Structure 1
Amino acid sequence: MNIENLSMKLILHAGNAKGYLHGALRDARNAEFDQIDLKVKQAANELLEAHNIQTKLIQEDAKNDLTSLPVILVHAQDHLMTVMSEKDLIEEMIEMYRKQHKMNVKLDELIDKAKLK
């Protein structure tokens, strides 16, 4: 098993997920809600790929009792866990943007009605 190669794949998938999540958050901030769910789903798929790689590493350690872990693996694990935490926060922030947008639309409607009177 090439731990360095798997570590790089972990970083790749976690980085892809982070890119999708931040794109979804940017869309939410700009009230462009049509692609957000797709981007969050793509991020989840990337994180699933990363999790599968992580599982392989854990299984390999259980079988062969890996005695040394490369720094790149430690970095990969750190990167993955950070993105997983960001995912939870970004999903909450997106919902806040959705609710704020709905409130703004209703407020604009009320203001328009008041102007017509």
Structure 2
Amino acid sequence: MDEKNLEAIMGLIMYGGNAKSDAMEAIAAAKKGDFELADQKIKDAEASLVEAHHSQTGLLTKEAQGDHMTVTLLTVHSQDHLMTSIAFTDLAKEIVDLYRHVDAK
């Protein structure tokens, strides 16, 4: 695996992990009633997901241009990590909204 691909794969793992962590922190903040922090953590998670998508897009573009890479366990893990982080962030948004709704009553 070349250096560029490894960099992109590690970007998926790193940014995906950051997004999931921020999303978890958003839920924790909402649970305490700190919706300003919860909203900021959701924004941070979304920003990390954007960066992860940039890494993923680079890999997909190279593939589409015929520059095929060998798929390794690390590659699969990075994609799995990204998809889990996207789902977790989406769910965190809903949970924060639920806490906000409960807090308003």
Same fold, judged at TM 0.5 (above): yes
> Is the aligned partner of 1:32 residue 2:34?
yes
Question: SS where residue 34 of structure 1 aligns?
Answer: helix
1:25-64 to 2 correspondences below 5 Å? 25-64=27-66
Identity of aligned residues (%): 35
For the residues of structure 2 that align with 1:86 and 1:10, how far apart are their CA atoms?
Answer: 15
Residues 19-38 of structure 1: per-residue CA shift (max 9 Å, x gap): 11100000011112121111
2:79 matched residue in structure 1: 77
- Greater RCO structure (CA 8 Å; 6+ sep): 2
Which runs of at least 4 in structure 1 moved beyond 6 Å after TM superposition? Answer: none
Please report the TM-score for the alignment, with normalisation by the length of structure 1.
Answer: 0.82
Rounded Cα–Cα distance in structure 1 between residues aligned with 2:69 and 2:87: 28
Output one character per residue of 1:60-100: Cα deviation in whole Å (capped at 9) or x when no partner: 11113415212111100000001101111110111000010
Structure 1 range deviating more: 27-36 or 50-59: 27-36
- Equivalent-residue separation in structure 1 for 2:13 and 2:69 (angstroms): 22
Would the aligned equivalents of 1:10 and 1:80 in 2 still touch at CA under 8 Å? yes
Structure 2 unaligned blocks of 5 or more: none
Of the three residues 3, 6, 17, the one matched with 2:5 is: 3
Q: CA deviation at 1:9?
A: 1.1
Match of 2:88 in 1: 86
State the superposition RMSD in angstroms.
Answer: 1.2
- Which residue in 2 is equivalent to 1:112? none
Task: Report SS of the residue matched to 2:35.
Answer: coil
The aligned counterpart of 1:109 is none
Q: Does 1:14 align with 2:10?
A: no
